[in-house]
């Protein structure tokens, strides 16, 4: 049996941005559901954070969410299990009130606010939603007593990567899951593996921290117990490294601008010897109708050719914050402050600017 695993879909991201809703449509209509249809896969497990805002959802987002995902699931006969994630609940210490319970309680969609062991074609899997103070004891007991060797959850585990180059330093310990052969989790948006714990990552780019970070969904085979990654071919964030060095205007304007429609674009100025040519280039870029354009000067004149030469923005910002906190006086609770700043930074990444 093969099961589609998807997580951290964050419907309503960026203040219910219509551009992101259109971007989501591309993924579900052209990649996710067509793949399931072509391969005869009817079972889907969502590993949490199905919506973005913890306390409300807009009518516009709800309609698009239903039309693009929920109605497709129910009308085409898919079996959907949803784990409650931290973005699906308004309170940090309880999963009782959650997005799925309030929106789809009467529909044939199964959702779980507490741990449960389910059998999928002979394979036991422990489903573990977001763990908080209210369900912590229940979650620990479930992990001790389950016959399952596999756990799917929405977990915060210390020692795992929360984003490229940034290790999470709080939450459960990796050793808490040593009895499981395989743990697959949502919550962190960067796809990565630490020992037996696999963070599957979000299915599409949501912030600049996701730029050139592979996104998509996974297929889990209950017979082989292996994961297959299906990559999302669509990008929301693009960088253009502009240089007119040893070029003619016709060559510069021959750039294919079509990928930048309805996307976020950052133009890095490596070399601008002719300002008029750059203005003409920017005019053509604007005509392609990006959502947002930022222009960045390469003040160091490094002649950078690709993004691998540029320090990742998210890593750099968090590193600066952590170093500043570490340099504060000893009377400051540095660890708690660092955790708070990281949390606030991650929240800010999801806000429209």
Could you give the CA distance from residue 188 to residue 198 in angstroms, rounded to a whole number? 10
- 3-state class of 19 per DSSP? helix
Q: Please indicate, yes or no, whether residues 207 and 93 belong to a single structural domain of this protein.
A: yes
By CB atoms closer than 10 A (0-12, 13-18, 19+), residue 47 is buried
Instruction: Enumerate the β-bridge partners of residue 36.
Output: none
Q: How far is residue 78's CA from residue 271's CA, in Å, rounded to a whole number?
A: 53
- Single out the residue of 174, 171, 127 nearest to residue 150, CA to CA: 127
Check whether residue 173 and residue 295 sit in a common domain: no
What digits encode the pLDDT tens for the residues 335-348?
778 777 776 776 66
Residues 220 and 130 in one domain: yes
Q: What is the pLDDT of residues 305-320, one digit of tens each?
A: 444 434 444 445 666 6
The residue among 168, 200, 231 that closes a domain is 231
Is residue 353's pLDDT more than 80?
A: no
pLDDT by residue (tens digit) across 111-168? 999 999 999 999 999 999 999 999 999 999 999 999 999 999 999 999 999 988 889 9
Please check whether residues 222 and 275 belong to one and the same domain: no
Separation of alpha carbons 78 and 52, rounded Å: 23
Supply the Cα-derived Rg of the chain in whole angstroms: 22
Q: Please state, in angstroms and rounded to a whole number, the distance separating the CA atoms of residues 49 and 104.
A: 15
Same-domain status, 265 and 180: no
Q: What average pLDDT does the segment 188-200 reach?
A: 97
Q: Are residues 225 and 251 in the same domain?
A: no
Q: How far apart are CA 191 and CA 217, in angstroms?
A: 10
Residues 154 and 250 in one domain: no
Residue 352 — very low, low, confident or very high, per pLDDT cuts 50/70/90?
Answer: very low
283 vs 148: CA distance, rounded Å: 58
Q: Rounded to an integer, what distance in angstroms lies between the CA atom of residue 113 and that of residue 82?
A: 9
Residues 280, 187 share a domain: no
Round to whole Å and give the CA distance between 94 and 33.
32
CATH number of the domain bearing residue 201: 3.60.21.10
For the chain, give the percent of residues with pLDDT over 70. 90
How far apart, in Å, are the Cα atoms of 35 and each of 28, 62, 72, 82, 230?
A: 10, 24, 14, 20, 9
**Co-location of 188 and 265 in the same domain:** no
Averaged pLDDT score across all residues of the chain? 90
Q: Which residues contact 336 (CB under 8 A, 6 or more apart)?
A: none
Say how many residues make up the chain.
353
pTM of the complete model:
0.85
CA distances (Å), origin 266, targets 134, 168, 215, 296, 347: 44, 28, 20, 7, 22
Q: Quick check: 244 and 274 in contact, CB under 8 A?
A: yes
Q: What per-residue confidence (pLDDT) applies to 304?
A: 44
Same domain, 140 and 280: no
Q: Are residues 23 and 100 in the same domain?
A: yes
The domain tally of the chain equals: 3
Residue 286: domain span: 237-309
Q: Are residues 333 and 271 in the same domain?
A: no
């Amino acid at each position: 049996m093969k099961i589609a695993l998807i997580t951290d879909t964050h419907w309503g991201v960026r203040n219910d941005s219509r551009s992101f809703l259109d971007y989501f449509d591309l993924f579900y209509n052209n990649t996710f559901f067509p793949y399931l249809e072509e391969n005869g896969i009817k079972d889907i497990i969502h590993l949490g954070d199905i919506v973005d805002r913890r306390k409300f959802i807009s009518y516009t987002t709800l309609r698009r969410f239903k039309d693009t995902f929920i109605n497709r699931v129910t009308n085409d006969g898919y079996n959907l299990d949803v784990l409650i994630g931290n973005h699906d609940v308004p309170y940090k210490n309880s999963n009782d009130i959650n997005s799925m319970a309030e929106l789809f309680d009467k529909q044939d969609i199964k959702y779980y606010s507490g741990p449960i062991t389910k059998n999928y074609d002979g394979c036991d899997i422990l489903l573990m939603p977001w763990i908080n103070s209210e369900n912590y004891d229940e979650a620990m007991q479930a992990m001790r007593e389950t016959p399952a060797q596999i756990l799917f959850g929405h977990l915060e585990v210390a020692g795992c990567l929360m984003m490229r180059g940034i290790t999470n330093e709080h939450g459960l310990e990796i050793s808490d899951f040593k009895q499981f052969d395989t743990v697959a989790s949502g919550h962190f948006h960067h796809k990565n593996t630490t020992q037996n714990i696999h963070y599957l990552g979000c299915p599409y780019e949501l912030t600049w921290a996701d730029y050139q970070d592979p996104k998509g969904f996974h297929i889990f085979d209950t017979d082989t117990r292996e994961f297959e990654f299906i990559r999302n071919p669509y990008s929301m964030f693009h960088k253009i490294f502009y240089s007119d060095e040893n070029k003619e205007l016709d060559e510069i304007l021959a750039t294919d601008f079509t990928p930048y429609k309805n996307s976020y674009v950052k133009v890095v100025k490596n070399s601008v010897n002719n300002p008029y040519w750059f203005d003409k280039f920017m005019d053509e870029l604007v005509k392609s109708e990006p959502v947002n354009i930022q222009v960045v000067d390469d003040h160091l004149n490094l002649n950078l050719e690709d993004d691998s030469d540029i320090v990742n923005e998210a890593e750099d910002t968090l590193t600066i914050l952590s170093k500043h906190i570490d340099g504060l006086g000893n009377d400051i609770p540095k660890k708690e402050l660092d955790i708070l700043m990281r949390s606030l930074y991650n929240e800010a990444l999801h806000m429209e600017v």
